Every structure is written in structure tokens, then in C-alpha cells.
Chains A and B, each alone.
Chain A
């Protein structure tokens, strides 16, 4: 039991991202309101971004800007990769954030169109309106 707890505690950031993801997924599936679904979608995407950010993290390391004494000229000591967090996942996430923002924007625009047409964002009402046609 303690072992399991230790396992969870040691990698709590990964467990958190899974929990967040499930919350997002739940909202996307179970919520009736389209806006709430969108928020769920955003939580879902954010969870993955957090996951990537965790990947790059290292204990006792700093941002990946090479410090002065290691600087140009090569007279300093060798650069230790362990001293710096991995920048690549973070860079990737800049792109992913852009993608998720864009998706969110498009989805909201679609919601606006739906609302203009039907004056509601509740899915069951929409379904009813559509079946009337």
C-alpha cells in the first residue's frame, strides 16, 4: 500500500495530468452545453501541455541559457546537460499552445454561428430543433 502511495507521490505531476485529462474528457462527453464542452476540451489540451512541460523538468537545474562563465571562447568547464532543463518540450508546447488557441477560437466562432441560428447552445434543445426540420 505504501509502495503504491510512494509510486503515486513520486510522479505526482504525471498523475495530475491524467486526472486533468479525465476531467476534460468527462466534460466533453457529459456536458450538455456546448460552451462547457469547449472548456472541457481546453482542459484536456492543457493537461497534455502540462505533461510535456513535466517531461523537460529536472531537479536542481536551471533555464537553458548558458551562463557567463561557460560562455564564448571555450575557456570554461564543459557544459553539463544535467544543469539545464530540456528546452525542446517547452518549445514544442509553444506550438501546441498556438494550435489549441486556434482550435478554441474556431470552435467558439462555430458556437457563435450556432447560437445566432438557434438561440441556444444546449445540445438537447439543438437536437430537438434539428429533428423538427
Chain B
């Protein structure tokens, strides 16, 4: 039996345990322990992906208990891809954020690393499990660890933001749990595959409809779909950098994964698009989320907050895309999980580097940054272009599928929202670039008036090499993933839609 699916989750779990003990015994070993644990998770996830792409899905029975009694981990190409994304970002971020953690939390870094590993456990678990109730527990593990880590951030606002997140998060998870309860009433099973097999016979049941709506609403709350997004911007922008860098790219994306999983595997596309007539409404919700997220981002003066609202906007992309009801739309949504994960990661890496040097990232504080932090800014520009959707960065290709899907479905409003949001993002980022490019940090009274702009040379003050190296990796993968998107689509996404 292949044990890699379990290793992905358990490596981090054991790592958290060991790191916790080491924090008592010998504090300086917690970091290497965490790094090794996520490294092992990542290696196992890569192995999973290679195996699944070649041999088809793995059904792993936890501790040898067969379903429906035992918990099944089911790895197909979709979650293998998401797992690689999660573990790779977890590993790379841990490497990149070491200087930030040391700077921000000199006294509490061991607890940060332990919670970080638990967070990774939660995320990888959510992405691997094939059991509906287990999914709930893992979502809550993820959320609990993120509550604590957000509170570790900004001393004034961190705890309050975290508390608001707790309230919303609990409601979301509870809705989901309630939905699972109704599924159990009707079918007596919690295993996704088993439930999926029963669906065709109980399509007309109101119980199933209730269950579905409760589950989806719960997931919507957790993924911060507009207007259920209120908790997100504060939570993400007041979190410590080391955590913001992982929670921003992954948390919402993993919840989108859960939604896609519920749609494709659990309830089935036939049930959702043929039986139910709510798809149009939800595409509208996605459209509104895109536009609202973009407009609210325009109003921000803080870079982190701006990026947080862009996440709200991107959630609209994925929700709308998945509910278009055609292959292109779902392909776009799933591809965007991957792409948006990478580009948000790159953006927050760059922002983290800025925070490391500047402490505050109000947009007006970023004057002359192209000269001061050229490498960080290069990465930032690349990621920004990906968000805008400039080829050959990966953001373009998922947007391509999404717009194509919108055309196929005749959802013109959604296509228009996608295009408008690209333009809004262009405005947003060039607003930042202009401050970084035109204004020099010395002059406080606007741009240099010198006709030929013989600016005073700004000394280069870059972030630590390791942070830059990780940013470099993220930046390169933005382009590589973009150029190989057909491979990803054909090998990983289409097998899922047409088994």
C-alpha cells in the first residue's frame, strides 16, 4: 500500500509535535524541525502528483479502516495539484519568512512555527480527505491555527481582527456541519464517493437540497465571497508577514477547492447544473464580487489592504467560473486556484520584503522603491502583471479559460466583469508603480521638478537573500506555469471533468 497521501499530512503533524517539544528543550531547533517537516510534506505531495498523473486516483484508508467506518483519503489529479501548491508554498514561505519572523516576533517565534505547521496540517488535510465530516474537522483545525497566528500580528488590531474572523469562521463552519448532518440523515454515509454514488436516486429530495445549500453557504462564508468577505481584509493585513504570506494565497483557494470538490465529486455536476437552477444566480454573485472587490481595492491607501481586496475580487473569478456550467469555466476556475495561489504568494512575498525594510506599507511610503529594492520590485511587477492578466504570466491563461467559459455560457456580464477587473487591477498596480517609480524618497513635495530628472541615487537596500531567492522562484514559476498551462489542463484538469 502506498502511504504517501498520509505522509503529506502526518509529516507536518508530527513536525508540529516535535517542534512543540523542541520549543521547550532547545528553542533554536524549532525552525529546522519545521522546515524539514514541510519539506517532507512537499516531497510526498510531489510524489503523489506524479503517481496520480500516471496511474489514476489513490484511495488511501487511514489506519487500514475501510470506509464507510474509516476515513478515506482520496487523491486525484485535482487535489494532488492543490497539495503540491500548498506544501510548496508552505515550504518556500517558511524559508523566505525566517528573517521576518525573527524581526516581528523575536520572543514568540517557536509558537509561530508550531501553529504554522498545524495550519499546514489543516490545509493539506482539507485537500486530501474524502470524508465529509473529516473535512469539517480539518477546516476547523486550519481556522483555529489561523486565528491564533493573526492575533500574533499587529498588537493593536491583530486580536480584534482575529476575533471578528472567529465569529464569521464559526458560522461558516457550522453551516457546513449542519449540511453534512442533513446528508447523513438522508444517506447514512459521510464518505464522498459513496454519497456520490447515491445521488442519482435521491435527486428530488428536499433534504439533499437543504444539505447542499447549507454546505455551499458555509463554504462561501469561509472563502470570503462578497458580501461575506468583511472579515478578510483586516485579518490578512494585520497578520504577521510570515503568516499573511501563506494564508493569503492558500486559505481562500483551498476553500474554493472544497467548493469545486463538492460540485464535481460529491454532488456531481449533473445534479448541480441540471437539477438545480441556481447557477445563474451564483455567477451573478461572482460577477458582483469581482466588481465590488475591485472597487473597494481602489479605495485603499494601504498596500496590504489593497491586495486583500484583490483577493476578494479573485474569489469572484473562481466562484463565477466554476458555476458557469461548462468545461471551460470549471477548467478556468481550477487553473485559477493554482495560478492565483502562485501570484498572490509572489505579491505577498514582495510585500513582506517591503515590510521588512520599511515597516509600514502605506502606498505613499513606497517612494523610490524601484531604485531602493529593485529585485523585490521586479518580483512584485511580475506578479502584478499576472493579476492583471498579461501573457505569458499564468494569470492570463486562467483568465482566458474563464472568459471563454463565459462566452460559451453566454454570461456576458461575467465576461465583462473579468475584463473590467483586469483594467481595475492595472490601474491599482500602476498607481503603486507610479509612486515607486516617479517619486524619490527624499523629496516630500512631489516628484522631482528637474527637467532631466538627475535624481539623487538611492542606495539599494534589499531584503535578505533567502527572501529574494524565494521571490525569484515564485516569479519564475509564474511564467513557467503559464507556458505549460496546456499540460496542466490536459493532464490534470480534464481527466477530472471527463473521467
A positions within 8 Å CB-CB of B: 25, 28, 34, 37, 41, 44-45, 48, 51-52, 55, 88-89, 92, 95-96, 99, 102-103, 106-107, 109-111, 113-114, 117, 126, 130, 133
Contact = CB atoms under 8 A, between A and B. Distances in A.
A102 B166 CA distance: 11
B155 A51 contact: no
A106 B133 contact: no
B156 A34 contact: no
Given A52-B181, A95-B137, A117 B159 contact: yes
Nearest to B140: A99
B160 A28 contact: no
B390 interface: no
Nearest to B175: A48
A21 to B, nearest CB: 8
Contacts of A48: 174, 177-178, 181
B24 interface: no
Interface string B138-159: 0010011001100100011101
A25 B171 contact: yes
Interface residues of B, number: 27
B190 to A, nearest CB: 8
Say what secondary structure dominates the interface of chain A.
helix
A17 to B, nearest CB: 9
B170 A130 contact: no
Which of B144, B177, B185 has most chain A Cβ within 10 Å? B177
A45 B170 CA distance: 8
Contacts of B159: 110, 113-114, 117
Nearest to A49: B177
A41 B170 contact: yes
B147 A110 contact: yes
Contacts of A45: 170, 174
25 contacts: A25-B171, A41-B167, A44-B171, A44-B174, A45-B170, A45-B174, A51-B181, A89-B181, A92-B133, A92-B190, A95-B137, A99-B140, A102-B140, A103-B140, A103-B166, A103-B170, A106-B166, A109-B151, A110-B151, A110-B159, A110-B163, A113-B151, A117-B156, A117-B159, A126-B160
A99 B143 CA distance: 11
Nearest to B141: A99
A114 B136 CA distance: 28
A37 B170 CA distance: 12
A106 B170 CA distance: 12
B342 interface: no
Given A89-B181, A95-B133, 16 more contacts: A45-B170, A55-B185, A88-B184, A89-B184, A96-B136, A99-B137, A103-B144, A103-B147, A106-B148, A107-B147, A109-B148, A110-B159, A110-B163, A111-B163, A130-B156, A130-B160
